[in-house]
Amino acid sequence: MTPSNIRNFSIIAHIDHGKSTLADRLIQRAGLVSDRDFRDQILDTMDIERERGITIKSQTVTLPYQSRDGEEVRLNLIDTPGHVDFSYEVSRALASCDGVLVLVDAAQGVEAQTLANVYLAMDHDLEIIPVINKIDLPSADVERVREQIESELGLDAAEAVLCSAKEGIGIDEVLEAVVKRIPPPTGRPDLPLSALIFDAHYDPFRGVIICCRVFDGTMRKGDTIRLLSNRSRYRIEEVGFFRLGRDPQEALSAGDVGYLIAGIKNIVDARIGDTVTLDDHPVEKPLPGFREVKPMVFSSIYPMASDDYEDLKDALDKYTLNDAALVFQKDASAALGQGFRCGFLGLLHLEIVQARLEREFGLSLLMTAPSVRYRFHLKSGETIIVDNPQDYPDPTLIEGAEEPFVRASILVPERHLGTVLPLCMDRRGVQPRTAFPTPERVELTVDMPLVEVIYDFYDRLKTVSQGYASVDYEMLDYRPSDLVRLDILVNGERVDALSVIVHQDRAREWALQVCERLKKEIPRHQFKIPIQGAIGGKIIARSTISAFRKDVTAKCYGGDITRKRKLLEKQKKGKKRMKMVGSVMIPQSAFVAALRSEED
């Protein structure tokens, strides 16, 4: 098969516009899976992806297709994750495509994310095919959506393909459009090998499985490859295509999308965006766009039961085999015992890691408030970088502090600007600017501290805009900031795991909130428990839990000890999830509540 018979494409869409369903249909149409074995969202293999309806780890699939002209074509559908935390991964996946299908819901019309995705595709010079989905819905308004596609996306709506992925209508038309309108890859098999790593997975039996797009050249089993970023060399054990499973091939050539297995033991060695070439005949220049993935958000993970520490360590070791973006090192807390300080791409990444560790490894975890990397300039002239409140320097030694700022771009219908703007200002946003890419939509650009963005901003934004706003952000710079360490004292003892580095102006609000939440969650003890928020020695917030005096049932029912014991067993289980701080038992729920984002 020559490159002219290959199409590499991706589907981009606003959430819920039917991306996974369309992918499912295309797979079914290609006959890769029998209808009997079919299950929804076949590409989203993780439970958590199915539940949240989002794609975390992209999956790629090669579909055989015979076009109406009788031509045999190989369609490579490259799936992309859909969240700002993973924008780098998305960009690498798109860089591996030659075109995209932009899916628009026939009832909802163009949404903020549609727009953002189209811009992204334009940045990569991709052929863009608009597809109007859900045309079977009673509320579908194809004409209005066509107008939006013209006016808001600037695409030719006359060329839009109509379909209903759910009902299987128009699937052939979608496939034909891919074949006819997306250009075939242009690379040459005889040039030095140049392949882009756009994803990698870990397989316990085979090691790292690299997903790559070959731009030029050819790779075969037995070849020695070189990864340009770290110049490491490996011998190829297997190459092939993805067809829901791995399908080994003789070679991968220019234009192909597939996998390669080369005995790579550690996923951090297979960096997304890196260039693969042949060791004995290397390409000179790496493919553009490679970036080191840097963690942005930091939080410490502790096992709820301290004897689960070893299990947590194992789980993290295993987990990071498949997620190069998570970094971790040992951490310890007086309140929570031994744990790990972890770095994440963003808050969603953090939540996903937590959910997967708990679900796949059966762990019960506690995570401290997310932090970013702060800079402290000391009077000695030294500058230190701190991402852990425990490392907050002695205040008398601090000359000045800085925190990272981002430029957030928020796309929002004009009617919601009135709620979105105050939210941004409340989060210490500065220099808001608005632009009107289309008459109904505002693009709000605002510079904000990163910490304000990573901490539940996305959720709040969705709430205040009724789901209409979308946000993307880019790192700007470090700006001077008045940073303090806020401590929480329970019965006079500092609970180190609850300390946070915050802006001076936000400290009291935070402290009050944590004190109130702890008051609700910490059970009464046989003595009075003061809860305080403090900066240095100064108390800025306070609440008190009164003592309990009585906890006993009057009667042990006529020999029915079982009922009584079961109650206690339940309490005992609850106690397992408690941590002792001084003489106060703090339940997990209190840590969870204290560390929860603002208003749930």
Partner 1 sequence: MCPCEVVSPSPSPDTTAFEPGKPSRTKYAAPRNSAPGLYVHVPFCTGKCAYCDFYSLPERTRIPAWIEAVQAEARLFRGLFPRFDTLYLGGGTPSLLGVQELERLLQGLFRKLAFSHSPEITLEANPDDLSPGRLAAYRDMGIRRISLGIQALEDATLNFLGRRHTAPRAEQALIDSLNAGFSSVSVDLIYGIPGQTFKAWKKTLQRVLCFRPHHISCYQLTLSPETPLGKEHRKGRIRLPAEDTLADLFLATSEILRDQGYLHYEVSNFALPGHTSKHNRKYWRRAPYLGLGPAAHSFLAPVRWWNPSSLDTYIRQISSGRSPNEGREVLSREQALLETLCLGFRTSEGVAGRVLAACTDGSQTVQDLEQQGLVARHGNRVVPTCRGMMIADRLPLWFLP
Cβ atoms 152, 115 nearer than 8 A: yes
Q: For partner 1, which is the closer residue by CB, 317 or 560?
A: 560
- Tell me which of 71, 173, 571, 598 binds partner 1, using CB under 8 A: 571
> Rounded to an integer, what distance in angstroms lies between the CA atom of residue 421 and that of residue 407?
14
**Contact call for residues 449 and 92 (beta carbons, < 8 A):** no
**Are residues 81 and 49 in contact, defined by beta-carbon separation less than 8 angstroms?**
no
Is residue 570 a contact point for partner 1 (CB under 8 A)?
Answer: no
Instruction: Please tell me whether residue 520 binds partner 1 under the rule CB under 8 A.
Output: no
Residue of the chain from 334, 430, 475, 561 that contacts partner 1 (CB under 8 A): 561
- 560 part of the interface to partner 1, by CB under 8 A: yes
DSSP secondary-structure letter at 389? G
Q: Which of 343, 213, 349 is nearest to 273 (CA)?
A: 213
Stretch near partner 1 under the rule CB under 8 A, chosen from 115-123, 230-238, 366-374, 561-569: 561-569
Nearer to partner 1, 4 or 546 (CB): 546
* Residue ranges in 303-322 that form contacts with partner 1 under rule CB under 8 A: none
Decide whether 210 or 545 has the Cβ nearer to partner 1: 545
Phi, psi of 14, rounded to the nearest 5 degrees: -70, 155
- C-alpha 510/C-alpha 517 separation (Å) is 11
Q: How far apart are CA 249 and CA 244, in angstroms?
A: 15
Beta bridge partners, 251, equal 220
Using the Cα atoms of residue 306, residue 311, residue 317 and residue 319 in order, give the sign of their dihedral: negative
CA pair distance 569, 588, nearest whole angstrom: 17
Q: Which helix (H) or strand (E) holds 27?
A: helix 19-29
Q: List the one residue from 138, 205, 553, 599 that touches partner 1 (CB under 8 A).
A: 553
Name every residue whose Cβ is closer than 8 Å to that of residue 128 and which is 6 or more positions away in sequence: 99, 100, 102, 118, 121, 122, 155
The answer to whether 436 contacts partner 1 (rule: CB under 8 A) is no
> Is residue 275 within 8 Å of residue 225, measured between CB atoms?
no
- Which residue among 526, 538, 599, 600 contacts partner 1 (CB under 8 A)? 526
Binding of partner 1 by 492 (CB under 8 A) = no
Q: Counting Cβ atoms within 10 Å, is residue 427 exposed (0-12), middle (13-18) or buried (19+)? A: buried
Smaller CB separation from partner 1, 436 or 527: 527
What string of H, E and C letters represents the secondary structure of 483-507?
EEEEEEEECCEECHHHCEEEEHHHH
Closer Cβ to partner 1, 415 or 576, answer by number? 576
Q: How far is the CB of 569 from partner 1 (least distance, A)?
A: 7
Nearest approach in angstroms of CB 578 to partner 1 is: 9
Taking the C-alpha atoms of residue 286 and residue 19, their distance in angstroms, rounded to an integer, is 32
Does 556 help bind partner 1 (rule: CB under 8 A)? yes
Is 568 a binder of partner 1 (CB under 8 A)? yes
Find the binding residues for partner 1 in span 249-308 (CB under 8 A): none
Nearer to partner 1, 119 or 309 (CB): 309
576 binds partner 1, rule: CB under 8 A: yes
Instruction: Report the residue number, 231 or 555, with the smaller CB distance to partner 1.
Output: 555
559, 581, 591, 596: which one binds partner 1 (CB under 8 A): 559
Strands 383-386 and 374-378: antiparallel
Scanning 77-85, 142-150, 383-391, 547-555 for contacts with partner 1 by CB under 8 A, the matching segment is 547-555
CB of 304 to partner 1, least distance (A): 13
Region binding partner 1 by CB under 8 A among candidate stretches 134-142, 426-434, 489-497, 557-565: 557-565
Closer CB to partner 1, 81 or 303, in the complex: 303
Does 1 bind partner 1 (CB under 8 A)? Our answer is no
Nearest to partner 1 of 439, 558 (CB atom): 558
The dihedrals phi and psi of 47, each to the nearest 5 degrees, come to: -50, -45
By CB under 8 A, how many residues form the interface with partner 1?
Answer: 27
User: Which residue type does 339 have?
Assistant: G
Residues that bind partner 1 (CB under 8 A): 526-527, 548-562, 564-565, 567-569, 571-572, 575-576, 583
